[in-house]
Every structure is written in C-alpha cells, then in structure tokens.
Amino acid sequence: MTDVIKVANEADMIVNGYAFTHCTEGYRVLNLNRPDKAVVLSKTGDVLETSMDDIEIQIVRDYLRKNSEFMEECDA
C-alpha cells in the first residue's frame, strides 16, 4: 500500500489533492484521495503509465500546465 503521507511530503507540488513529483521520465502524479489512481507523464505531457481514466488524466495535465511554474526545479 502506498504511504500517502510520505508521497505528499516528498512531492514537489500538490494541487487539489494531486501530488506531483519529478522523476527521470518526467512527472509522477498520485491522487492522494484515491492512492490507487496514479499516472507517469513524460516531460512533454505524454502518458507513459497510468491507472487513471481519460478525464482524470486531462485534469492532471491541466493542473501541471497551469502550475508548472511553481514546481521546484530539480534539473537546474
């Protein structure tokens, strides 16, 4: 089982219950309210792996696009 508190503490950004974390592929996103729902997005926003439906994926992509300026930069 996913340790939601650990994921939240290590996240670079949390928006409306979604924890966004940089990873080598791009971004890992976990729905903190439904930890069985997650997605890995490439740096360009393509879905690499997911357990989310299409609507939730689009919501996550929009959150990332609108809030990416607030993500901590790990690539600098």
18 close to 63: Cβ distance less than 8 angstroms: yes
The tokens describing 23, both together, are: 């990873």
d(CA 40, CA 26): 7
Mean pLDDT of 65-74: 78
pLDDT band at 74 (very low <50, low <70, confident <90, very high): low
| Whole-structure pTM value | 0.88
Lowest mean pLDDT among 16-20, 60-64, 71-75: 71-75
